[in-house]
Structure 1
Amino acid sequence: MSEKRPITIDDLYKIVYVEDPQVSPDGRYIAFVKVTVDRLENGYQRNIWLAPTDGGEPFQITRSNKDSTPCWSPDGKTLAFVSMRSERPQIYLLPLIEMGGEARALTNAQTGATSPQWSPDGEYIAYLSGVNAEERAKEDAGETPEPPKDKLEMEQRIARKMHDETERWDPRLVERIPYRAGTAYLDDRYQQIYIVRTAEGLEGDEAKPRRLTSEDTHHTPPQWSPDGTYIYTSRAKDPEADEPFRHSRIWRVRVEDGVGEFVLDSEAPISDMMPRISQDGRYVAFARVQLPLDSLTKVMALPLDGDEPLALNAEIDRSPAGYDWMSDGKLALNVMNYGDTVLYHSNPANGDYEQRFTDRMVMEDFDMAADGGVAFVGSTPENPCELYWLPSGADKPQQLTHFNQPLLDEIYVQPVQEVRYESPNGEVQGWYILPVGYEEGQKYPLALNIHGGPHGMWGPSTRTMWHEWQV
């Protein structure tokens, strides 16, 4: 092996990331997204892979470089995912009975389709698509355009649509706040929930998507109730109010007829979001933020029989990085604690909790298996990002991918040292990394990175900062 070298700025292009692990219903595989840097296009390439949970070699199942958001069918035979293979993101279905099958497009939404979620019986997929009031009115009137006859007509339609969009926003009339996110302007299209049948070969109305929501407000990714009767989401309490995302509530819509209602309404200055339904259908868990934003985010468990919600992380005193229901009725909570990950199991009936796992690493994008195993994206001070599997009952996770090992074999990864010191307002925690070739007694320039918080926590394992810390 050649001698190792210090890490460089250009090594950022060599780091491989992992996203969105999803455990198959039988627990044998984890579908995940492998992300690599496309330096020429100044972007990223995303493809879906499968990793056997028994430690076998991971393998690639899509190759468009534009695929994300894998979602298993309830029977484990088909994988839904989102792809940018056309002008807009669309949902595709890939049969997995025989590896190497061809994916087929399930949606052809003019403004794109994202966030697929299978119904419990596998007959439908719910998804999000952004449409404005005019487009919704045309849908309701049955005015759907015919598909293009050939590639030339498709390209002409795209060019015409881009021209019309430019004309429509020149000049830009601002009627609602917020009107911009960063450098991008927001338009008048809001994410609505649709459902579409998954069977192949359907015609007429059976093949058409059906929209379940119609308000001028964004809806978060859909969550099916276990019996398939309702779809849960979160949306603005008052769509006409400014800053609507700061006053959201849990909303559920009946699949049969699209009738919706707030699950828990209140005039209190709170925002409820990201609902997750327990597998027995008894509880809905959601994140609650107190307004103004001066306290931790609470994970609430609301009994759907009418009782009051219970805060599951009140005693833990940490905001959640994620949460997911387990088959035994408990809720798994992932929190950051002094720069590291702690996974708790919490009882929604009384708020009791127990520590399930902790390590010197950051756990992200985790998914629970039916038997209690956990698939997650992990980063450590020594490795920027890999896929891990924590089997049910195990104390230590198994590393299933080694995408970054070739880079780690080339470079020095400097150890991270923790430091704590007293300030006027209490103890401050930090870390320091010595330069390559450090010699005690010598002086070196110091680069200081201050993170004030308290709404987010960084640490030496934070994957988005890993390269920056080492450089």
Structure 2
Amino acid sequence: MEKKQLRNIKAEDLYNLKSVVDPQLAANGSDLVYTQTIASEEKNGYSSNIYYMNTEQGQEIQWTFGKARNHSPRWSPDGKRIAFVSDRDEKSQIYIMNKDGGEARQVTSCLHGASNPIWSPDGTKIAFNTSLKEGETVSDQPEKDKKEKPAPLEIDKMKHKSDAAGFWDGKYKYAAIVYVNTGEVELVTSGQHDYHVHCWSPDGEKLIVTADLAEDQDFSFQNDVFLLDVSSKELKNLTNGTGFFGNISYSPDGKYLGMTGHTREYENATLTKVWLYQLEEGSLTCLTEEWDTLVGDFAIGDFQQGAVNPGILWGEDSRSFYFITTDHGSTAVYYGSVDGEMYPALHERQHVYGLTTGGSLNKAVVAISKPSEPGDLYHLTITTGELKRLTSVNAEFLQEVILADAEPLQFKSSDQWDIHGWLMKPAGYQEGDKLPLVVEIHGGPHAMYANSYFHEFQCLTAEGNAVLFINPRGSHGYGQKFVDAVRGDYGGKDYEDIMEAVDHVLANYEFIDENRLGVTGGSYGGFMTNWIVGHTNRFKAAVTQRSISNWISFYGVSDIGYYFTDWQIQADLNDIEKLWKHSPLAYVNNIETPLLILHGEKDYRCPIEQAEQLFIALKHRKKETKFVRFPEANHELSRSGKPNLRIDRLNYITGWFNDHL
């Protein structure tokens, strides 16, 4: 039989790929639900549906259908039902479905929708989050066919916009409870603050919520943990303004709260750690204080839709738990205990982006991705480390295309720091070929490239490019000193790490053509792309995405600008000289590299004026450049933007490098 000819992947294959996330095991350890998402060309958006599997039998059964976003499935305590969120009726609301079949039943009809369902221990109530403006009630219904007239927007606070939500419209996020049998909804928090609900106490009398109740919200960046009495609505602050905490879960015996967080010693560069709150003693202890490892999944990619950080997953003994860590280009599953034991349960060269145990100490289900594997679910026997594949959601597609793998690399920087990264070459590489090299730089800067699938990298290799991506100083995954090293030094040692990585691969890989180098990146990666072309002419082409070019204007226009420049550049408007020194725009006269500028119109994190300034400055100097504006797109364009715009973006990137390399 003739072997099937595989084809190269292309940007448009985004429509053929499925993302599988958020696995949830029931307490019986065998019933599993999870969410599959596809990019829909027809609706130019995303459709998500919930699937079920008995992990012992292995057959996948689709539980929801249609073009809506059905997601966040959560098992009832008795394992007979799931609650989930769906926008099938425009607004996202909570629905309940029986395991034995039948139609889903809507249980909330909140004015502005509902999210984050959490079952009470007795299964009679579901806690959730909803939003309201002052004067609105949770039972209000929207006025149908009412056309809103344009109105002035009054602003009296600095935190008045966010890249995710746009301009603040007066709504606050509250914790609420819905009674499953009657549909009655009760708000359990109030006031002019946002609350996020995390878990119930085992006796069902209390909820754990987080909030920042500081009076001056513009200058407060804490997230406190509160014990909320459901009957009296009384709040007890357990962390008292000491830091930023989240992902809280009760031990089954009700004695402990497990959580992740930090006390902001290095502002947003501080490593997240595991914390234990003992309820009887009222004491908070960091269990990983001496451990130079980051807790949680901080790997970045451009493919998975709706991955969930599982936080602390307790075992039935109320002393043991599991969690995810970010470490040296991979994410791992770790075991922990209230006595401070910590050791790996699964630590391979891969990206674990989902984890569920159902309360078991012996088995789990993990979601795993690798550079040439978009992502699937696996059954993990924790005692032996054995993995058994449960899903193959992209099997049919992967039989048609050829994907490139990533070779890990490591070298010593000129000042003897260990720098880690990867090199990809086209899957169809022929011995003796000389290839152009595209250097990719991640955003953050406190994030981490990982052993994970990246659609953008695959599209670049499919066009015949080698791709180099590294974790320079400032990246997560390599300890506190490493991640903090970029603060106050943007364009310093981080720039040197990237350039020395290029030198390293040129010296060690003969197939790279040193005269055909390209560079690209987004956000901080866009800043660094701009910085690089202003400081060297080694690159024949560059693509800067959602970038920063001017820290002076960034201070006042970004949703995070007024504090981010202080934390990261370590300067504000009282030190214009330092802000300008670290601004790529200051070096625009030096830029000779042809530069493509890509930016979203509704990017409030790195607003489009950053791109406009750079483009006009380059055109004014007769430099080779092109500016592409993406309508309706925010800072998340490459990850969760409109599918057609994501594809256009990828084709602009590959097209620019094809033309210039």
Report the TM-score range of the alignment, normalised by the length of the smaller protein. 0.7 to 0.9
Q: Does 1:182 align with 2:155?
A: no
Deviation at 1:16, TM superposition (A): 0.5
Matching residue's letter, 2:44: N
8 Å Cα contact 1:384-1:467 kept in structure 2: no
- 1:374-424 deviations in whole A, cap 9, x for unaligned? 122211123111122213423122211111111111111222111111113
Using the alignment, how far apart are the partners of 1:392 and 1:439 within structure 2? 41
Partner of 1:198: 180
Using the alignment, how far apart are the partners of 1:466 and 1:219 within structure 2? 38
8 Å Cα contact 1:384-1:466 kept in structure 2: no
Deviation at 1:86, TM superposition (A): 1.1
Secondary structure, in 3 states, of the residue corresponding to 1:221? strand
Partner of 1:375: 365
Matching residue's letter, 2:352: M
Identity, % of aligned positions: 26
Using the alignment, how far apart are the partners of 1:216 and 1:158 within structure 2? 27
Scaled by the length of structure 2, the TM-score of the pair is 0.63
**Higher relative contact order structure (alpha carbons within 8 Å, sequence separation ≥ 6):** 1
Deviation at 1:82, TM superposition (A): 0.6
Matching residue's letter, 2:205: T
8 Å Cα contact 2:20-2:393 kept in structure 1: no
Q: Does 1:261 align with 2:236?
A: yes
Using the alignment, how far apart are the partners of 1:317 and 1:65 within structure 2? 44
Partner of 1:364: 353
Using the alignment, how far apart are the partners of 1:72 and 1:469 within structure 2? 41
Partner of 2:386: 396
Using the alignment, how far apart are the partners of 1:229 and 1:463 within structure 2? 45
Deviation at 1:470, TM superposition (A): 5.2
Q: Does 1:84 align with 2:87?
A: yes
Using the alignment, how far apart are the partners of 2:349 and 2:456 within structure 1? 16
Rg comparison, structure with higher value: 2
Deviation at 1:452, TM superposition (A): 7.1
8 Å Cα contact 2:18-2:38 kept in structure 1: yes
Distance 1:469 1:26, change over 3 A: farther
Matching residue's letter, 1:214: S
Deviation at 1:454, TM superposition (A): 6.0
User: More helix by proportion, 1 or 2?
Assistant: 2
Q: Which moved more, 1:377-386 or 1:284-293?
A: 284-293
**How do 1:156-171 and structure 2 match up within 5 A?**
157-160=143-146, 163=148, 166-167=149-150, 170-171=151-152
Secondary structure, in 3 states, of the residue corresponding to 2:244? strand
Matching residue's letter, 1:90: Q
8 Å Cα contact 1:286-1:300 kept in structure 2: yes
Partner of 1:226: 202
Q: Does 1:303 align with 2:278?
A: yes
8 Å Cα contact 2:334-2:343 kept in structure 1: yes
Using the alignment, how far apart are the partners of 2:55 and 2:180 within structure 1? 28
**How do 1:449-460 and structure 2 match up within 5 A?**
449-451=440-442, 455-460=446-451
Point out where structure 1 has 5 or more consecutive residues left out of the alignment. 148-153
Partner of 1:49: 51
Point out where structure 2 has 5 or more consecutive residues left out of the alignment. 297-310, 463-661
Deviation at 1:427, TM superposition (A): 1.1
Partner of 1:150: none
- 1:189-220 deviations in whole A, cap 9, x for unaligned? 11111111112xx4xxxx42111000222212
**How do 1:65-464 and structure 2 match up within 5 A?**
65-66=67-68, 67-96=70-99, 98-99=100-101, 101-136=102-137, 144-145=139-140, 157-160=143-146, 163=148, 166-167=149-150, 170-182=151-163, 184-199=166-181, 202=182, 207-238=183-214, 240-242=216-218, 244=220, 246-266=221-241, 268=242, 270-291=243-264, 292-306=267-281, 308-321=283-296, 322-328=311-317, 329-348=319-338, 350-372=339-361, 373-425=363-415, 426-451=417-442, 455-462=446-453
- 1:270-289 deviations in whole A, cap 9, x for unaligned? 22223221122111122223
Q: Which moved more, 1:452-461 or 1:43-52?
A: 452-461
Kindly report the root-mean-square deviation, in angstroms, between the aligned alpha carbons of the 2 structures.
2.2
Moved >4 Å (runs of 4+): 462-471
Using the alignment, how far apart are the partners of 1:74 and 1:464 within structure 2? 38
